[in-house]
Amino acid sequence: MTKRSRHVPIAILGAAAFTLAGCEEEKVDAAAFPDLQSCLAATSENSIFSEADCKTAFAEAQSLHVEAAPRYDSLEVCEEQHGPDACSTEQAATQGGSSGIFMPLLAGYLIGNMMGGRSGMSAAQPLYKTSDGRFTNAARTSSFSTNQGAAKLSTSQFTRPASTVGKTPMTRATAASRGGFGRTGGSRGFGG
């Protein structure tokens, strides 16, 4: 009869706990702002974001907006998804593009402190208004109750969305088949 070690079950249990902890997604300090001025006004000695972070993140959000904003074949379809007066032509939004393609207006941006601490590496995402008055990022991974506030968000909220430049714009049928823009992710809120 072979002798079984009492330490093997403990080692297996420890490895399982370590594996489960490794599966939990990292959370970062994040904030949402309706515009650059709001972010700049929120910087202070105690803020996790500096003026440089605000400016860099806003520029990144604007760039991602041009590259990855949803595009629609008509103003009506865009406004069905984002609300009245929340859309513009691709031409106006990108200083080029088509006057027959419509995009939502940038309604704010997310900024996340990816490295921790003040003036760490930041990441950004554009925010868009949805027809129900909420806000969503370009990747449609989350819905937010407001475009202003702070929270801990998973790093996946800052994954670069797929480009929509040159892709066929969404029609009423394709938007409906996707359940509408901004209705696919989990709901999150920001605290003051």
DSSP the chain: -PPPPSHHHHHHHHHHHHHHHHHSPPEEEEEEESSHHHHHHH-STT-SS-HHHHHHHHHHHHHHHHHHS--BSSHHHHHHHH-TT-EEEHHHHHTSS-TT-EEEPP--EEEEESS-STT--EEEEEEEE-TTS-EEETT--EEES-SSEEEEEEGGGGSPPPP-TTSPPB-HHHHHHTTSTT-SSEEE--B-
| pLDDT for res 11 | 38
| pLDDT for res 156 | 83
The end-to-end CA distance of the chain, in Å, is 65
| pLDDT for res 13 | 38
> Is the pTM of the predicted complex or chain greater than 0.75?
yes
Measure CA 169 to chain center.
21
Contact between 123 and 114 (Cβ < 8 Å) = yes
Ramachandran category for residue 55: left, alpha or beta (phi over 0 → left; psi -120 to 50 → alpha): alpha
Cα separation, 113 vs 92, whole angstroms: 31
Q: Nearest CA to 142 among 187, 86, 172?
A: 187
Residues paired with residue 149 on neighbouring β-strands, in sequence order: 32
| pLDDT for res 9 | 41
Contact between 53 and 111 (Cβ < 8 Å) = yes
Residue-wise pLDDT tens for the chain (192 aa)?
555 555 444 434 344 444 444 556 688 889 999 999 999 999 876 678 889 999 999 999 999 999 999 999 999 999 999 999 999 999 988 877 788 999 999 999 999 887 655 555 678 999 999 999 999 988 777 888 999 998 888 888 888 888 999 899 999 998 887 655 554 444 455 544
